[in-house]
Chain A
Amino acid sequence: MSAHRLLDAIRGALRTHAGVDRREFLKLAGITGGGFVLAAVAPRGVFASEGTEKLVASAELNAFVHVSSDGKITIYSANPEMGQGVKTTLPMIIAEEMGADWRDVEVVQAPVDEARFGRQGAGGSTTVPRTWNQMREMGATAREMFISAGALVMEVPREELHAESSKVVHTSGRFKTFAELATLASRQPAPEPGTLIFKERADYTIIGRAVSGVDNLAITTGQALFGIDTRVEDMLYAAYEKCPAIGGKVVSANVDEIRAMPGIVDAFLLRGNGDVRELLDGVAIVGRTTWHVFQAKKQLKVKWDESAASKDSWAELVTRATAGAGTRGEADVYAKGDVDTRFAAAGNRTLEAFYEYPFVSHFTLEPMNCSAHYRKGQNGAKDTVELWIPTQFPAGAHAAAKSMFGFEPDQVTVHQMRLGGSFGRRVYSEYICESMKISERVGRPVKLTWMREDDLRHDFYRVGGFQKVKAAIDAEGRLVAFENHHFGMKRDGEVVSGSGFRENEFPVQNIADALISNTWFDIGTPCGPWRAPRSNTNAFVMQTFLAEVAHTAGRDYVDFLLELLGEPRWLEEGNAWALHTGRAAGVIREAAKAAGWGRNLPAGRGLGFAFYFCHAAHVAEVAEVSVDAKKHVTVHKVTVAVDVGPIINRSGALSQVEGAVIDGLSTMMGQKITMEGGRIQQSNFHDYRILRMPSAPPVDIHFIESDFAPTGLGEPALPPLAPAVCNAIFAATGERIRKMPLADLGYTI
């Protein structure tokens, strides 16, 4: 399954609330079939570096939990860790339900085995909501098995026992430790999932705390964790050059000259399969160190056939959209009510604006890389491939190996490595395919590392676009009609990830008359999910435009938003992933209060407000900025109010919001990818501008911990940042911002 389909499937499962999924999962995870016998060996495929020996003589309570006779509780983290914190967060949920003392817990990255662990991807801020019940069931199952064992050993009724601090405790105060009970507990029948009772929030001892990430010691002491840290015996290093005009075919290259260079072992052409998500044509260079292959790559002379390559030009897209801005789009028109009557009505004022936002790169600090070892089968055995991958979707490697070699999953071993950032970048398989093919060719393990320049020029970009928006305001200052002509992008006939303006964008569902139309431009530049796809640009357009509407109507923006939201209700009945107007109003009021919204500020200084809903999260942000005469922007503070339900790891949750604010600011201020002749024109940090520490504002974060089920926080705090800052710049200067990045308008930070 391709990664974007997988994302959709995850969202689908969420919508149906995963009833079947969960039972299926528990069956797969081996819980429903009764207790496990003592598992005296480590599960297959666990990395030796991650404590295999420690699992020996441990008792397996279920697929996720082992307890050893010395009291160490081992919890598997099954999902990719890319900085979003799941490797700490999910085990916290298990430990909580189990009654474990967190200090006894050791978290181990699980082997990739979806039959055992369920889906192991990460994306769309879905990991927490998707696994919340599963993790609680894993913990509660283990707890009940411990209680059964405790009842046997202490010869008391189960009802008189409970679990806390890694102990089973009797009402009399007598107790047995998990360590003492581990073996017996592992032999107890697992309770039926339907009989499990989860802890009440008031009784939590782990969930809601600030817990330091489980890999922090390894990170701060420089131990191997990331994909790029992979070292295996006999390994060679590789680089891969693709056509700078994306999709071009290789005709020839000076591979003989390259092979003769110092430290180079081989250089050869690879023929791609034309799928940018798998393998494009290129030239592989293999050598003794990464540096040797990078040096050799700079000496490559390649003849490309660009006839089928991307011809994209950003300048041309701007010209076409600007020319079409006065029209209505012809494709995918959504209409309700009658906007034209509203726009024409006497007494209604209309407001129009044209917005532009660029392509941007993911720019993860760890560049794309993958280590692969292709082994020829001996004595008639099948060939196999072993992979060390920093990826959001490890199972994608199975599909990739099938596509490259016709391999079945049993011929592929995947080691899930920590990701040095991802933000939606590592969901396709091109760097995996490249490294597998190179290893096959040289017959040795190979670590492929992309140069930073490759990484910036061969991304799946956050798509750029344009929107022409129009509003009608009635005599009472209310928004009564909204129209959007959205200019989006298609590639190979499909709307690209991140492009689109849907009818559930706020406030389309809140008003009676709305019209959305589209014009699609065909492009060759690959696009992919980038932290809060669609939302990260639609929030900028909608929340600056609505603020302008409110201002034009002479209204306070917060009042205007609250009125638009109306009575507390779900906007889509029965869909817990839809906007809830009461939760929205809650974060809006909280952010306004915390930021001192409405305060008088000196000239040149202003507050800007934005609200956005995505990924089931309601978020409001207020930026306080100053702008000087040279258009230098100082962001004094960003105040954020978030409702994602109960917070699991307070530290991790704060980090996600802090990070989203900095990322949003960095992107809106300086980042822009342009292409001419299908070539990406930026290449490295010197021409792709990023935010540095001196420009990082303090972030004041307020969680509204409502009783709704917890949802993800990796993405939803990013979209409101840009409009909050733009609205603040307007308050400070009177200039409306309708184009990102702000560097193009002369602003600096």
Chain B
Amino acid sequence: MPNYQFTVNGERRSLDVEADMPLLWALRDVLGLIGTKYGCGIGQCGACTVHLDGVAVRACSTPVAAVAGRAVRTIEGLATGDDLHPLQKAWIDLDVAQCGYCQAGQIMAAAALLAANPQPSDAQIDAAMAGNYCRCGTYNRIRSAVRKVAGASSALWYDATAMEVSA
């Protein structure tokens, strides 16, 4: 069995797994990082979105062999210690999640977008997020949360100031 070394959320990892095992299952079933989700296994739903060297990729369609020597970041590693990423804060402030299952992938896709383009237009947000499916239909709140973090002047569809957040 080949050996692969890469970092996950800044930690060095060494795995003995088949070359074609998708990163998704290496994360979930081998490393126990279950924040990254399985939705379709064919690169269509975005539930498995992680960052590879800062770029959003589909972990279900990325073999472990392709990440050797590279840096993987998952939802578990998005916050800095107890300091949430601004997107995570916005997701809580706007109460984006319904069932919540897609949201790790949504947040990772949005984080990659904002890292590359801190002030995306609405069309750019839509384009960047179109690959992430939400069965519960939280798209409007996702869009609003991304805009909020981007400091967009366009009116939030969802009025965040009306939200009160539990401690």
Contacts and interface: CB of A to CB of B under 8 A. Distances in A.
Interface of A: 82-85, 88, 102-105, 209-217, 219-226, 228-229, 231, 237, 262-263, 288-291, 294, 363-367, 418-422, 449, 451-452, 650-652, 654-656, 658-663, 666, 684-686, 690-694, 696, 698-699
Contact of B44 (A655, A685, A696): A685
A391 to B, nearest CB: 14
B93 A666 contact: no
A591 B37 CA distance: 39
Given A220-B91, A228-B37, A289-B25, 19 more contacts: A82-B99, A83-B98, A103-B166, A211-B166, A213-B100, A217-B92, A219-B100, A220-B103, A220-B104, A223-B35, A228-B38, A231-B34, A364-B99, A364-B135, A418-B99, A452-B40, A666-B137, A684-B42, A694-B126
9 contacts: A212-B163, A213-B95, A221-B75, A221-B76, A366-B37, A663-B136, A685-B45, A693-B126, A696-B139
Contacts of A105: 166
Contacts of B142: 693
A220 B38 contact: no
A430 to B, nearest CB: 19
B100 A83 contact: yes
B156 to A, nearest CB: 11
A220 B110 CA distance: 12
A221 B95 contact: no
B133 A692 contact: yes
Contacts of B74: 222
Interface string B13-52: 0000010011011001110111111111110110100000
Interface string B148-167: 00000000011000111111
A684 B44 contact: yes
Contacts of B100: 83, 213, 215-216, 219, 225-226, 418, 420
Contacts of A263: 18
A495 to B, nearest CB: 27
Given A658-B140, A658-B141, A662-B137, A365 B39 contact: yes
The listed residue with most B CB atoms (<10 A of its CB), out of A103, A418, A655, A661, is A655
Contacts of A661: 137
A693 B46 CA distance: 12
A212 B166 contact: yes
Nearest to A223: B35
Using C-beta atoms within 8 Å of the partner chain, give the interface range for chain B. 35 or more
B140 A651 contact: no
B167 A103 contact: yes
Interface of B: 18, 21-22, 24-25, 28-30, 32-42, 44-45, 47, 74-76, 78-79, 84, 88, 91-93, 95-104, 107, 125-127, 129-143, 157-158, 162-167
B42 A686 contact: yes
B135 A363 contact: yes
Q: Tell me which of A209, A215, A365 has the highest count of chain B C-beta atoms within 10 A of its own C-beta.
A: A365
Nearest to B133: A690
A237 B46 CA distance: 23
Contacts of A231: 32, 34
Contacts of A210: 95, 162-164
A117 to B, nearest CB: 22
Contacts of B126: 693-694
B76 A222 contact: yes
A449 B38 CA distance: 10
A291 to B, nearest CB: 4
B34 A421 contact: no
A463 to B, nearest CB: 20
Contact of B97 (A219, A290, A366, A422): A219
Contact of B30 (A262, A289, A364, A655): A289
Contacts of A660: 137
Q: Which of A210, A219, A288 has the most CB of B within 10 A?
A: A219
Contacts of A686: 42, 44
Contacts of A365: 37, 39, 45, 47, 99, 101-102, 133-136
A654 B18 CA distance: 46
B167 A102 contact: yes
Given A452-B41, A685-B42, A693-B126, A209 B164 contact: yes
Nearest to B122: A694
Contacts of A262: 18
B34 to A, nearest CB: 4
A667 B76 CA distance: 33
Contacts of B99: 82-83, 364-366, 418-422
B70 to A, nearest CB: 20
Contacts of A294: 41
B112 to A, nearest CB: 15
B107 A651 contact: no
A661 B103 CA distance: 19
A222 B42 contact: no
A219 B165 contact: no
A211 B164 contact: yes
Contacts of A366: 37, 39, 99, 101
B28 A221 contact: no
Nearest to B130: A692
A609 to B, nearest CB: 21
A610 B157 CA distance: 23
Contacts of B38: 228, 290, 367, 449
Contacts of A212: 92-93, 95, 163-166
B167 A220 contact: no
A101 to B, nearest CB: 9
A696 B35 CA distance: 26
Contacts of B91: 216, 219-220
Given A222-B104, A418-B99, A289 B29 contact: yes
B93 A290 contact: no
Contacts of B125: 693
Contacts of A213: 95, 97, 100
A98 to B, nearest CB: 15
For the complex of A and B, 8 pairs with smallest distance between CB atoms: A222-B35, A662-B137, A420-B101, A83-B99, A222-B75, A103-B167, A291-B25, A83-B98
A103 B28 CA distance: 33
A663 B137 contact: yes
Contacts of A666: 137
Contact of A216 (B42, B95, B102, B127): B95
A418 B97 CA distance: 13
A84 B157 CA distance: 21
Contacts of A419: 99
Contacts of B97: 83, 213, 215-216, 219-220
A651 B92 CA distance: 11
Given A105-B166, A228-B37, A658 B137 contact: yes
B133 A655 contact: no
A83 B165 CA distance: 18
A104 B167 CA distance: 8
A700 to B, nearest CB: 9
A55 to B, nearest CB: 19
A457 to B, nearest CB: 14
B21 A698 contact: no
Contacts of A363: 135
B120 to A, nearest CB: 13
A655 B95 contact: yes
B72 to A, nearest CB: 13
The listed residue with most A CB atoms (<10 A of its CB), out of B40, B47, B79, is B40
A419 B100 CA distance: 9
A222 B139 contact: no
Contact of A214 (B32, B129, B141, B166): B166
A728 B131 CA distance: 28
A229 B165 contact: no
Residue of B37, B131, B140, B163 with most chain A CB atoms under a 10 A cut-off: B140
A390 to B, nearest CB: 10
A696 B137 contact: yes
